[in-house]
Structure 1
């Protein structure tokens, strides 16, 4: 038994959020694949290091990407927060998330120089 295994109560909550498409996953593998995703992020290991009990690492990784793109994890988080708030276990007015990302041009790490400029700088030095 790995630490990534869900209790039956946890699985009852998670299962309805996981879409089953026309080509899979097979419902029998759904829980193991989700547990594989949990294992990956809890362990910090690479996808290729995933134990075989979760299925092929590439299949679990593809399933994770499908769920990520479908917004499954955001929906799970929002559902958990809503349930906790309904029970009076969380004060949503105190929730705040802030993240800022600024992309730089690939040349930002160094100065672009024309062909003759570098020679002129070397001569001046």
Structure 2
């Protein structure tokens, strides 16, 4: 078990809430799934690259393996949907929003990898990101594509 705690780590009550989404086939004395999820949450919070995860976490290959597996299985998307609905109900709203607000932003990118093209309207070479949020500011969908692609795609 890790000794050092990070601000992105799950609290015991948070883990109790989301634990059913990460049920394991076998029992372990130590709950590796929680440590893996803590490592996954550290990366976007700090901007840490997978290979630069602190040593007290599992090896980065293990963390990345579980991240990809859970993403491909749809576990992460299912968890996010359930959490959004829970937050909305706690605010006294319906679980599903009746309206979403969409915004688009063209951002320049580095030369390294990924899709990119030139957006002549905004004079940017890079990618476009579209984000749909509800009135609470909770994200419901995200789309990233080359900046030169038309927005109606």
TM-score, normalised to structure 2, is: 0.56
Unpaired runs of 5+ residues, structure 1, are 105-125
Q: Which has the larger radius of gyration?
A: 1
1:11/1:31 contact within 8 Å kept: yes
Aligned to 1:94: 99
CA shift, 1:76, in A, is: 1.0
Structure with the higher fraction of residues in helix conformation: 1
How many residue pairs end up in the alignment? 103
Unpaired runs of 5+ residues, structure 2, are 102-131, 133-141, 149-153
Q: RMSD of the TM alignment (CA)?
A: 2.8
CA distance 1:14–1:36, change in 2 (3 Å) = same
Correspondence list, 1:10-49, <5 A: 10-21=14-25, 28-49=31-52
TM-score, normalised to structure 1, is: 0.67
Structure 2 CA distance for aligned equivalents of residues 57 and 5 of structure 1 = 17
Match of 1:5 among 9, 23, 36: 9
Worse-superposed segment, 81-90 or 94-103:
94-103
1 or 2 for the larger relative contact order (CA 8 Å, sep ≥6)? 1
